[in-house]
Structure 1
Amino acid sequence: MSSKTVTFYFSVLSPWVYFGGPRFHEIVRDAQATVLYRPIDLLRVFRETGGTPLAAMSPARQAFRARERQRWSDWLGMPVNAKPAHHPVDEALAAQLLMAAEDTHGSAVVWPLAQRMLAGVWVHDLDISQASTLAQMARGEGLDGDALLTQADTPAMRTRFDNGTTEAMAAGVFGVPSFVIDGDLHFGQDRLDFVERALRSH
């Protein structure tokens, strides 16, 4: 196993995770690094660290963020809806499904399924809080969605999700995507150059 490890704190509601995830995974592949996946409750992080959810931002901030989303969409060639129909929603079950998939099939399945969820929110107007939607997404990745949902939808998995969010904030995380390398926090998909540099220095 590579000695280079990145703890990746992310939310399946964030357009910035949607945009940054593919490049991040190219970087870690080229660096032969190991990724520790930590899906977190973004709205809870905002509440507890002084962040502002999108809907509560001033009109000027909302307008600028919308423009930035479109700029990144154009730059990366990744479509995005200006106003997704189901955002924000409770992402707990989706995150727990990712953890169940990793438990059953290993870490390689996590990101393709997470990116499918993100595209579901930001491109296809799907509601990732719905079990039927999540089961279909898992099947789209060749997984047994119903079995994984049974595994995911338990109090123990909810506790694990909550604990992962607490761990993230203890590491200094206040938004996503966040990347921790050797205890050093990098925040934002526009900081991936620094993530790449940190991995190259190992």
Structure 2
Amino acid sequence: MPHIDYYFSTLSPYAYLAGTRLEKIAVKHGAQINYKPLDLPALFLRTGGQLPKDRHPNRMSYRAQELPRQAKKSGLPLNMKPAHWPMNAAPSCYAIIAASNAGGGDMGKLIHAIGRSIWVDDKDVSQDDIVRDCLSEAGFDPALADKDMLTSAETYAGNLEEAVNAGAFGAPFYVTDTDQRFWGQDRLDDLDAYLSGDL
């Protein structure tokens, strides 16, 4: 079975705008997704990038145009100035790791629910009650928000190292088992085409 390593952060608006397209592509091709949430600011700094607040105004001006365009293409609502962003992503990422280990729910729905909480509903996903609501919505035990946090923290840190070693430098970032790399939700069609043998 082919697999896709999916490196992402709940802080990323582009990961939110991916919706559940990756899961649909995986089903189409019989592929397994390895969900690897990570510390995105640390990934930027480790791979020559900058935090949004430190980027040149030209880059931020482009981002202000590009995000609404991508939201329109995806058919998803997007609040460009969410109330709590950037928040501490670790609690929501730990919950994703715990849910992935536990199983029993819909991972794509969970990740999208967390993203929607930030980028549409103005919620703070560093708060346990918000994370629990997202877990419940996706069919997981809400208690996973507090389960095996040390193990999740270790996995979270390990995912960053794996991402750097795999060649990732942003999010969302997709790596196939043949080491083909795709950066950004706007490359999901290319990932689909590659898995179909068309690229």
User: Given the two structures, how large is their TM-score scaled by the length of structure 2?
Assistant: 0.91
Ranges of 4+ aligned residues in structure 1 off by more than 6 Å: none
Please report the RMSD computed on the Cα atoms of aligned residues, expressed in angstroms: 1.7
Q: CA deviation at 1:56?
A: 1.8
The residue type equivalent to 1:196 in the other structure is: D
The residue type equivalent to 1:74 in the other structure is: K
Structure 1 gap segments, 5+ residues each = none
- From 133, 144, 149, the equivalent of 1:148 is 144
Task: Give the conservation status (yes or no) of the 8 Å contact 2:106–2:139.
Answer: no
Q: CA deviation at 1:171?
A: 0.4
- The alignment status of 1:167 with 2:162, answered yes or no, reads yes
- What residue is the counterpart of 1:199 in the other structure? 195
Task: Give the conservation status (yes or no) of the 8 Å contact 1:101–1:109.
Answer: no
- What residue is the counterpart of 1:5 in the other structure? 3
Distance 1:165 1:21 in 2: 22
The residue type equivalent to 2:42 in the other structure is: R
Q: CA deviation at 1:186?
A: 1.4
Task: Give the conservation status (yes or no) of the 8 Å contact 1:102–1:109.
Answer: no
Q: Structure 1 vs Structure 2: percent identity of aligned residues?
A: 32
The residue type equivalent to 1:144 in the other structure is: D
1:138-167, Cα deviation, whole Å (9 max, x unpaired): 22233331x212214x22321111011111
Task: Give the conservation status (yes or no) of the 8 Å contact 1:89–1:128.
Answer: yes
- The alignment status of 1:184 with 2:197, answered yes or no, reads no
Distance 2:141 2:20 in 1: 24
Task: Point out the more displaced range, 49-58 or 21-30.
Answer: 21-30
- What residue is the counterpart of 2:83 in the other structure? 85
- The alignment status of 1:18 with 2:22, answered yes or no, reads no
User: Given the two structures, how large is their TM-score scaled by the length of structure 1?
Assistant: 0.90
Distance 2:23 2:136 in 1: 22
Distance 2:193 2:106 in 1: 26
Task: Give the conservation status (yes or no) of the 8 Å contact 1:116–1:137.
Answer: yes
SS at match of 1:79: coil
- The alignment status of 1:31 with 2:29, answered yes or no, reads yes
More helix, by proportion: 1
